[in-house]
Chain A
Amino acid sequence: MRKLKRFLACTLTAAMFAAALSGCGGNAGGAASSAPAADSVVSTSQAEQPADTTQAAETPAAETPEEVTLTMYLLGDRTPDFDLVFDKINEKMKAEINATLEVKFMGWGEYEQKYPLVFASGEDFDLIYSADWAMYNAQASKQGFYEITKEMLETYAPKTAATIYDDAWEQSKVDGKVYMLPMNYKELTAYVFFVRGDLMEKYGIDQVNSIDDIEAYLQAVADNDPGMIPLDIGSDFDDRFLYDLFWQAEIAGRLEKVNPEQLMGYIESGDDSATVFNETEDPAFLTTVEKLKDWKDRGFWSKSAVVNTQNNKESFAAGKSATALMNINNAKGEYTTLMQAHPEWDIRVVDAQGKAPAIVQSYLANGMCVFSKSKNPERALMALDLLRNDEEIHDLFCYGIEGVHYTSLGDGKIELTDANENYPYDGNCNWGIRNDAYWKSIAGGIPNYDDLYDGWIKTAKGSEYQAFTFNNESVRNQVAAIGEIYTTDMKLLYLGFAEDPAADIANVQAKLEAAGAAEVYEEMTRQAKEWHDALK
């Protein structure tokens, strides 16, 4: 009996130990995967050696003896035909530079958390999509990206070296170093309203052309249709849309915006001292907030807008709201889809810019970067060169397979096929490699598009300080505190949620002062002036 007990105890412990070991195997894997993070710190210093210009010159660019697989991170979701398109791209890549691309996606919902993690975790990847709004500065200043020099471009990406816009190259500098190949594409940002012709007819509105007409239309919907929200803007994507339109109209030609947006800095146009101040200090801010409050109080958007995380165009598409407000670049595709789904709505596209000039986007709005610990940075650059400058590859990535996803009409125009939804036009995070030289637009679509575009292009401009990037190292604590105010008190004002605009603004200003905004703007002024002086 005693022997049996002992035997049982032994087998039990052995079993438990085995279980622990197998569990441990999983853990060890986890530990091992984090270990290379430390190792590769050492190995990158070696890996960087060949990238030195001296050695790079010795290795001819065309020489690609061993085959490599490059891992590329993109944002968004994998569309059904994505792999089909990339098989074609890889076929050509393999032939040209003996490399293939393996693409991984970070969904929109998770990218804010996951993006910094792939850098920190020591994961092995080579290329990643980046943008001024997608943490380019944050990662670049933490040495997350591989520095790209002109010499390297000439060796490994000669076509890019020849075609990249000078402005684009200058804008991508962080502390004087370039870490990104921004899109070679001039993007105009302008907003449009979608309004419904059937509702206009119902409420006896003849035409909607200006902001004032929009106001009347929204009022008509608010008065007559309690089941419908006139314009369903919320707190996530579109919290600033209307504010920006009103505000830009007020400050056009008077103030220059300084990035990043959440620090709310502005400089007076033509001010050589480059004194940065907070947007709430300008008297026009009060006017803007009062107008927003007025619209909100009249029920133009939901009383629960601050917790609504849906994009307003989704509400519109679902028939829950009467107006949609969006960027013209989204509007093109959206219009086609909606006109097919609801021809009876008779959607009209209305210019939302009014007096506010359209904005020429910074090139940094989209770009591609090489990971600082990539094992094949040279090949990564060669791949980028092809993606950007090889017309066939560029077109595959941007529009899909000709004859399957689109048909070319010549003259830079294309027509979308039914299969396009499996690889949407310009909708596969291809934005970082867009190239004006090969750009094709959809024929048809918004009927008054050319009129709208002509109106915008006349006055379109970028901020004087668009290419300036603020290095927040010395004031990080203040920046964090201001960031918090930006996502709370300011968000309320942007959506018109103010009891008493003047008092609320004074309250925000007091909070900003306590957060140390003065120190931030002082540092910003210093850097902006330095940058401004260097331009002359």
Chain B
Amino acid sequence: MKNGGLLRDLKKNRTKWFMLLPAAIVVILMCYIPMSGIVLAFKEFNYHDGIFGSPWAGLQNFLFFFKSGKAWAVTRNTILYNIAFLTVNTVMQITVAIVLSEITRKRFKKVTQSLMFLPYFISWVVVGAFIYNLFNYEFGAINTFLKQIGAGAVDVYSNPKAWIPILILVSLFKNLGYGTVMYLASVINIDPQLYEAADVDGATIWQKIRHITLPGIRPTMIILILLSIGTIMKGDFQMFWQVTGNNPMTLGTTDVIDTYVTRSLMYLQEFGMTSAAGLYQSVFSFILILLANYAVKKVEPDYTLF
């Protein structure tokens, strides 16, 4: 690029550019072109005039979000939950990946890996049904068990605090396997000679994990975390809606931006307002990811996304 600009580079590295093409086409078609739909957030949409022909609405579409005074509470919930998910999931995924990598019995390893991966494919609707049948007051599995052993029944659905650990555990249940596979791949890629050298030096298993494995998977870790920060403003709608059963009694601790917007606009069907909420999330996510990337650049310039 330094000498001769883009054209020259295109010619010089044409094979590389050519190989980039498929990915670029997909991103342009699926991400950049639809992005023009952002304009909806500022429009009063009607079918007849379409997305670009509908009259302008200024910032009107954003108002509903702040009208009820819940904007701050749901934004805070969204961010805190995502931070909690990110921390708990990452720690558990790395732990399990390291444990699995230390296991030498092949069959056991494969079976465990598959079993942990399985929940990733279970729909949230089904998980929601599990949860309901566990926690239902009258005939849920937990209360039936408690009654059997003579303890009193618990009413989980009217207890907002209970849902914080439940949601974190459910998220772990669903995402553990997926992340573990990512980290496992990265652990396996570490040069075995390093471990052999450590063995010769008489390192314990803990020392090997601390000084070889963990630093070895650091690039993967940082990239995965940075990518998750990009979605920190987005609550996993299906999860929050289905697992809590859209329960009005626990909203204080379970309401995230996505569920709040859905409830508000369920009857109104305003595309403009939904787009406005989406834009609010995207802009904040964008700022957060820029900040995080900047912070990483200060400490570990090699591992940044861009």
Chain A residues engaging chain B, CB cutoff 8 angstroms: 9, 13, 16-17, 19-20, 23-24, 27, 31, 37-38, 41, 44, 112, 116, 119-120, 135, 138-139, 141-144, 227, 229, 235, 260, 262, 302-304, 306-309, 320, 372-373, 472, 476-481, 483-485, 487-489, 491-492, 497, 511, 514-516
Is the Cβ of B48 less than 8 Å from the Cβ of A372? yes
Is the Cβ of A37 less than 8 Å from the Cβ of B60? no
Is the Cβ of A481 less than 8 Å from the Cβ of B67? yes
Is the Cβ of B53 less than 8 Å from the Cβ of A41? yes
Contact of B270 among A13, A260, A476, A478 (CB under 8 A): A476
Bound-state CA distance A141–B268 (Å) is 11
Q: Does B238 contact A (CB under 8 A)?
A: no
A-B contact pairs, 19 of them (CB 8 A): A19-B22, A20-B26, A23-B26, A24-B25, A112-B266, A142-B269, A143-B46, A144-B47, A302-B137, A307-B132, A307-B245, A320-B139, A477-B63, A480-B67, A483-B263, A483-B264, A484-B264, A487-B248, A514-B68
Binary interface profile of B, 238-279, with partner A (CB < 8 Å = 1, else 0)? Answer: 000000111111010000000010011111111101000000
Give 5 nearest A-B pairs by CB, closest first.
A20-B22, A307-B245, A303-B137, A480-B64, A143-B48
Q: Does B136 contact A (CB under 8 A)?
A: yes
In the complex, identify which listed stretch (B4-12, B13-21, B101-109, B202-210) lies at the interface while the others stay far away: B13-21
Is the Cβ of A302 less than 8 Å from the Cβ of B251? no
Q: Which residue of A lies closest to B70 (CB)?
A: A484
Is the Cβ of A306 less than 8 Å from the Cβ of B67? no
Is the Cβ of A476 less than 8 Å from the Cβ of B47? no
Is the Cβ of B268 less than 8 Å from the Cβ of A476? yes
Q: Does B157 contact A (CB under 8 A)?
A: yes
Q: Which residue of B lies closest to A261 (CB)?
A: B267
Is the Cβ of B47 less than 8 Å from the Cβ of A515? no
Chain A residues contacting B52 (CB-CB under 8 Å) are 38
Is the Cβ of A488 less than 8 Å from the Cβ of B251? yes
Bound-state CA distance A516–B264 (Å) is 14
Bound-state CA distance A384–B99 (Å) is 67
Binary interface profile of B, 62-83, with partner A (CB < 8 Å = 1, else 0)? Answer: 0110011110000000000000
Is the Cβ of B137 less than 8 Å from the Cβ of A304? yes
Chain A residues contacting B273 (CB-CB under 8 Å) are 476-477, 480
Chain B residues contacting A478 (CB-CB under 8 Å) are 64, 67
Tell me the smallest distance from the CB of A4 to a CB of chain B, in Å: 15
Q: A41-B50, A480-B67, A483-B266 are in contact. Are A488 and B248 (CB under 8 A)?
A: yes
Q: Which residue of B lies closest to A144 (CB)?
A: B47
Is the Cβ of B29 less than 8 Å from the Cβ of A24? yes
Q: Which residue of B lies closest to A228 (CB)?
A: B138
Q: Which residue of A lies closest to B155 (CB)?
A: A303
Tell me the smallest distance from the CB of B167 to a CB of chain A, in Å: 14
Q: Which residue of A lies closest to B48 (CB)?
A: A143
Q: Which residue of B lies closest to A495 (CB)?
A: B248
Q: Which residue of B lies closest to A479 (CB)?
A: B268
Tell me the smallest distance from the CB of A114 to a CB of chain B, in Å: 12
Is the Cβ of A138 less than 8 Å from the Cβ of B265? no
Chain B residues contacting A488 (CB-CB under 8 Å) are 248, 251, 263
Chain B residues contacting A116 (CB-CB under 8 Å) are 269, 271
Extra A-B contacts (18), CB below 8 Å, given A27-B29, A479-B268:
A13-B18, A19-B22, A20-B26, A31-B29, A41-B48, A41-B50, A143-B48, A235-B246, A262-B267, A304-B136, A476-B270, A477-B63, A480-B273, A481-B68, A483-B267, A487-B266, A492-B248, A514-B68
Interface residues on B, range: 35 or more
Interface of B is mostly: helix
Is the Cβ of A515 less than 8 Å from the Cβ of B247? no
Q: A235-B246, A304-B138 are in contact. Are A480 and B47 (CB under 8 A)?
A: no
Chain B residues contacting A17 (CB-CB under 8 Å) are 18, 21-22
Bound-state CA distance A37–B138 (Å) is 51
Is the Cβ of A307 less than 8 Å from the Cβ of B247? yes
Q: Which residue of A lies closest to B247 (CB)?
A: A307
Tell me the smallest distance from the CB of A473 to a CB of chain B, in Å: 8
Q: Which residue of B lies closest to A133 (CB)?
A: B267
Bound-state CA distance A27–B33 (Å) is 12
Q: Does B1 contact A (CB under 8 A)?
A: no
Chain B residues contacting A476 (CB-CB under 8 Å) are 60, 64, 268, 270, 273
Bound-state CA distance A161–B135 (Å) is 56
Chain B residues contacting A139 (CB-CB under 8 Å) are 47, 269
Bound-state CA distance A373–B46 (Å) is 13
Bound-state CA distance A372–B135 (Å) is 47
Could you say which of A13, A16, A514 has the most chain B C-beta atoms within 10 Å of its C-beta?
A13
Q: A511-B68, A515-B67 are in contact. Are A302 and B138 (CB under 8 A)?
A: yes
Q: Does B85 contact A (CB under 8 A)?
A: no
Tell me the smallest distance from the CB of B155 to a CB of chain A, in Å: 5
Q: Does B123 contact A (CB under 8 A)?
A: no
Binary interface profile of B, 142-167, with partner A (CB < 8 Å = 1, else 0)? Answer: 00000000000001011000000000
Bound-state CA distance A480–B61 (Å) is 10
Bound-state CA distance A343–B295 (Å) is 72
Tell me the smallest distance from the CB of B7 to a CB of chain A, in Å: 20
Is the Cβ of A13 less than 8 Å from the Cβ of B19? yes
Is the Cβ of B263 less than 8 Å from the Cβ of A303? no
Tell me the smallest distance from the CB of A513 to a CB of chain B, in Å: 11
Is the Cβ of A120 less than 8 Å from the Cβ of B271? yes
Contact of B263 among A24, A487, A492, A515 (CB under 8 A): A487
Q: Does B200 contact A (CB under 8 A)?
A: no
Could you say which of A141, A142, A320 has the most chain B C-beta atoms within 10 Å of its C-beta?
A142
Bound-state CA distance A433–B50 (Å) is 30
Chain B residues contacting A23 (CB-CB under 8 Å) are 22, 26
Bound-state CA distance A131–B45 (Å) is 21
Tell me the smallest distance from the CB of B158 to a CB of chain A, in Å: 7
Tell me the smallest distance from the CB of A258 to a CB of chain B, in Å: 15
Q: Which residue of A lies closest to B131 (CB)?
A: A307
Bound-state CA distance A27–B34 (Å) is 12
Tell me the smallest distance from the CB of A238 to a CB of chain B, in Å: 15
Q: Which residue of A lies closest to B137 (CB)?
A: A303
Contact of B265 among A27, A141, A308, A483 (CB under 8 A): A483
Bound-state CA distance A356–B30 (Å) is 55
Contact of B68 among A19, A20, A485 (CB under 8 A): A485
Chain B residues contacting A138 (CB-CB under 8 Å) are 267-269
Q: A112-B266, A135-B269, A487-B266 are in contact. Are A307 and B157 (CB under 8 A)?
A: yes
Q: Which residue of A lies closest to B153 (CB)?
A: A303
Contact of B47 among A19, A143, A309 (CB under 8 A): A143
Tell me the smallest distance from the CB of B213 to a CB of chain A, in Å: 34
Is the Cβ of B19 less than 8 Å from the Cβ of A491? no
Q: A476-B273, A481-B68 are in contact. Are A492 and B15 (CB under 8 A)?
A: no
Bound-state CA distance A480–B155 (Å) is 31
Q: Which residue of A lies closest to B45 (CB)?
A: A142
Is the Cβ of B68 less than 8 Å from the Cβ of A484? yes
Chain A residues contacting B60 (CB-CB under 8 Å) are 476-477
Could you say which of B21, B267, B273 has the most chain A C-beta atoms within 10 Å of its C-beta?
B267
Bound-state CA distance A491–B247 (Å) is 10
Q: Does B302 contact A (CB under 8 A)?
A: no
Chain B residues contacting A143 (CB-CB under 8 Å) are 46-49
